[in-house]
Amino acid sequence: MTNDAPKTSSGESVLYADSDYAGLFRRCAILIVDGAVLMFALFLLFAAWFVVVEQQEEAEARAMLSWLLFVYVYLAILKPSRVRTLGFWLTGVRIVNHKGQRPSVFRMTFRLSLWILGPINPIIDFLWLGGDHHRQTLRDKFAGTYVIKRDATPVGRGKRRAAYYTLMRFTLIFWEIKPV
Protein backbone atom coordinates (compact mmCIF):
# COMPACT_ATOMS: atom_id res chain seq x y z
CA MET A 1 0.00 0.00 0.00
CA THR A 2 1.31 3.43 -0.87
CA ASN A 3 0.25 6.76 0.57
CA ASP A 4 0.80 8.60 -2.68
CA ALA A 5 -2.02 9.01 -5.18
CA PRO A 6 -1.56 8.66 -8.92
CA LYS A 7 -0.05 11.63 -10.73
CA THR A 8 -2.53 14.29 -11.79
CA SER A 9 -2.15 17.28 -14.05
CA SER A 10 -1.75 20.66 -12.37
CA GLY A 11 -5.47 21.47 -12.48
CA GLU A 12 -6.78 18.05 -11.53
CA SER A 13 -7.59 16.65 -8.12
CA VAL A 14 -8.59 13.20 -6.94
CA LEU A 15 -11.94 12.14 -5.52
CA TYR A 16 -12.57 9.35 -3.06
CA ALA A 17 -15.73 7.39 -2.34
CA ASP A 18 -18.04 9.20 0.10
CA SER A 19 -17.50 6.44 2.67
CA ASP A 20 -13.70 6.94 2.54
CA TYR A 21 -13.77 10.37 4.19
CA ALA A 22 -13.42 10.26 8.00
CA GLY A 23 -16.64 11.20 9.77
CA LEU A 24 -17.49 12.65 13.15
CA PHE A 25 -17.00 9.43 15.16
CA ARG A 26 -13.47 8.85 13.85
CA ARG A 27 -12.58 12.53 14.27
CA CYS A 28 -13.76 12.51 17.90
CA ALA A 29 -11.81 9.30 18.57
CA ILE A 30 -8.69 10.90 17.05
CA LEU A 31 -9.17 13.99 19.21
CA ILE A 32 -9.52 11.91 22.38
CA VAL A 33 -6.56 9.61 21.68
CA ASP A 34 -4.18 12.32 20.47
CA GLY A 35 -5.29 14.61 23.30
CA ALA A 36 -4.45 11.85 25.80
CA VAL A 37 -1.02 11.38 24.18
CA LEU A 38 -0.33 15.12 24.42
CA MET A 39 -1.44 15.30 28.06
CA PHE A 40 0.68 12.26 28.96
CA ALA A 41 3.68 13.89 27.24
CA LEU A 42 3.02 17.10 29.21
CA PHE A 43 3.02 15.13 32.47
CA LEU A 44 6.24 13.28 31.59
CA LEU A 45 8.04 16.44 30.50
CA PHE A 46 7.08 18.33 33.66
CA ALA A 47 8.20 15.40 35.82
CA ALA A 48 11.49 15.09 33.95
CA TRP A 49 12.34 18.79 34.06
CA PHE A 50 11.52 19.07 37.77
CA VAL A 51 13.97 16.26 38.48
CA VAL A 52 16.74 17.81 36.35
CA VAL A 53 16.34 21.53 37.15
CA GLU A 54 16.35 22.84 40.71
CA GLN A 55 14.55 26.17 40.17
CA GLN A 56 10.80 25.75 39.78
CA GLU A 57 10.28 28.64 37.32
CA GLU A 58 13.06 27.43 35.05
CA ALA A 59 11.74 23.85 35.17
CA GLU A 60 8.22 25.05 34.25
CA ALA A 61 9.50 27.13 31.36
CA ARG A 62 11.65 24.32 29.97
CA ALA A 63 8.84 21.80 30.35
CA MET A 64 6.37 24.05 28.51
CA LEU A 65 8.80 24.78 25.67
CA SER A 66 9.62 21.07 25.37
CA TRP A 67 5.93 20.23 25.30
CA LEU A 68 5.15 22.86 22.64
CA LEU A 69 7.91 21.41 20.49
CA PHE A 70 6.48 17.92 21.04
CA VAL A 71 2.98 19.12 20.08
CA TYR A 72 4.32 20.65 16.86
CA VAL A 73 6.32 17.58 15.87
CA TYR A 74 3.44 15.22 16.76
CA LEU A 75 0.64 17.14 15.02
CA ALA A 76 2.39 18.87 12.12
CA ILE A 77 5.22 16.54 11.17
CA LEU A 78 4.28 13.04 12.40
CA LYS A 79 0.57 13.22 11.47
CA PRO A 80 1.04 13.30 7.65
CA SER A 81 4.01 10.88 7.71
CA ARG A 82 3.77 7.14 7.11
CA VAL A 83 4.01 6.64 10.88
CA ARG A 84 1.00 8.91 11.71
CA THR A 85 -0.19 9.86 15.17
CA LEU A 86 -1.58 7.25 17.55
CA GLY A 87 -5.11 8.59 16.95
CA PHE A 88 -4.73 8.33 13.17
CA TRP A 89 -3.17 4.88 13.48
CA LEU A 90 -5.90 3.46 15.78
CA THR A 91 -8.76 4.86 13.67
CA GLY A 92 -7.16 3.79 10.39
CA VAL A 93 -7.02 7.17 8.68
CA ARG A 94 -4.47 9.38 6.96
CA ILE A 95 -4.40 12.98 5.80
CA VAL A 96 -3.95 14.05 2.17
CA ASN A 97 -4.07 17.17 0.01
CA HIS A 98 -6.37 17.63 -2.99
CA LYS A 99 -4.08 15.52 -5.17
CA GLY A 100 -4.18 12.62 -2.71
CA GLN A 101 -0.58 13.18 -1.60
CA ARG A 102 0.86 13.86 1.83
CA PRO A 103 0.41 17.51 2.79
CA SER A 104 3.53 19.62 3.20
CA VAL A 105 4.89 20.62 6.60
CA PHE A 106 3.87 24.20 5.81
CA ARG A 107 0.26 23.13 5.12
CA MET A 108 0.16 21.07 8.32
CA THR A 109 1.67 23.94 10.33
CA PHE A 110 -1.01 26.26 8.95
CA ARG A 111 -3.72 23.69 9.79
CA LEU A 112 -2.43 23.34 13.35
CA SER A 113 -2.13 27.09 13.86
CA LEU A 114 -5.76 27.61 12.84
CA TRP A 115 -6.87 25.65 15.88
CA ILE A 116 -4.26 26.89 18.32
CA LEU A 117 -4.14 30.57 17.37
CA GLY A 118 -7.70 30.92 16.06
CA PRO A 119 -9.99 32.06 14.65
CA ILE A 120 -11.59 28.62 14.45
CA ASN A 121 -13.48 27.35 17.49
CA PRO A 122 -13.20 23.54 17.80
CA ILE A 123 -16.97 23.20 18.30
CA ILE A 124 -17.81 25.14 15.12
CA ASP A 125 -15.04 23.21 13.37
CA PHE A 126 -16.68 19.87 14.17
CA LEU A 127 -20.22 21.13 13.50
CA TRP A 128 -19.11 22.09 10.00
CA LEU A 129 -17.91 18.52 9.46
CA GLY A 130 -21.45 17.12 9.58
CA GLY A 131 -22.71 19.17 6.65
CA ASP A 132 -19.70 18.93 4.36
CA HIS A 133 -19.74 16.55 1.40
CA HIS A 134 -16.09 15.53 1.88
CA ARG A 135 -16.40 15.64 5.69
CA GLN A 136 -13.86 18.43 5.99
CA THR A 137 -13.64 20.55 9.11
CA LEU A 138 -13.26 24.30 8.64
CA ARG A 139 -9.52 24.10 9.25
CA ASP A 140 -9.29 21.30 6.65
CA LYS A 141 -11.09 23.59 4.21
CA PHE A 142 -8.69 26.46 4.90
CA ALA A 143 -5.63 24.20 4.74
CA GLY A 144 -6.83 22.17 1.75
CA THR A 145 -6.57 18.80 3.50
CA TYR A 146 -8.79 15.72 3.66
CA VAL A 147 -8.84 13.00 6.31
CA ILE A 148 -9.52 9.68 4.61
CA LYS A 149 -9.36 5.99 5.46
CA ARG A 150 -5.82 4.62 5.37
CA ASP A 151 -6.49 2.21 2.50
CA ALA A 152 -8.70 4.56 0.45
CA THR A 153 -7.93 4.78 -3.24
CA PRO A 154 -9.12 7.48 -5.63
CA VAL A 155 -12.32 6.62 -7.50
CA GLY A 156 -12.23 9.56 -9.88
CA ARG A 157 -10.78 12.90 -10.82
CA GLY A 158 -12.14 16.35 -10.36
CA LYS A 159 -11.41 20.03 -10.79
CA ARG A 160 -10.86 22.47 -7.97
CA ARG A 161 -13.40 25.27 -8.03
CA ALA A 162 -14.05 28.16 -5.71
CA ALA A 163 -17.05 27.72 -3.42
CA TYR A 164 -18.54 30.61 -1.46
CA TYR A 165 -19.97 30.21 2.03
CA THR A 166 -21.42 32.66 4.51
CA LEU A 167 -20.69 32.03 8.17
CA MET A 168 -21.67 34.54 10.84
CA ARG A 169 -21.91 37.33 8.22
CA PHE A 170 -18.47 36.52 6.82
CA THR A 171 -18.05 35.34 3.26
CA LEU A 172 -15.58 32.48 3.04
CA ILE A 173 -14.09 31.22 -0.19
CA PHE A 174 -12.74 27.67 -0.28
CA TRP A 175 -11.41 25.44 -3.00
CA GLU A 176 -13.64 22.39 -3.44
CA ILE A 177 -13.25 19.41 -5.71
CA LYS A 178 -16.09 18.85 -8.15
CA PRO A 179 -16.29 15.80 -10.45
CA VAL A 180 -15.29 16.44 -14.04
Question: What would you measure as the largest C-alpha separation in the chain, in angstroms?
Answer: 64
Query: Can you name the residues that pair with 174 across neighbouring β-strands?
Result: 163
Report which residue type is found at 58. E
Domain definitions of the chain by residue range: 12-155
Residues in the chain, how many?
180
List CB contacts of 20: < 8 A, sequence separation 6 or more.
Answer: 148, 149, 152
Q: In this structure, what DSSP letter does residue 103 have?
A: P
**Tens digit of each residue's pLDDT (9 = 90 or more) over 71-100:** 999 999 999 999 999 999 999 999 999 999
- The Cβ-side half-sphere exposure at 40, using a 13 Å CA radius, reads 8
Per-residue pLDDT tens digits for 15-41: 999 999 998 999 999 999 999 999 999
Question: Are 138 and 123 contacting, i.e. CB atoms less than 8 angstroms apart?
Answer: no
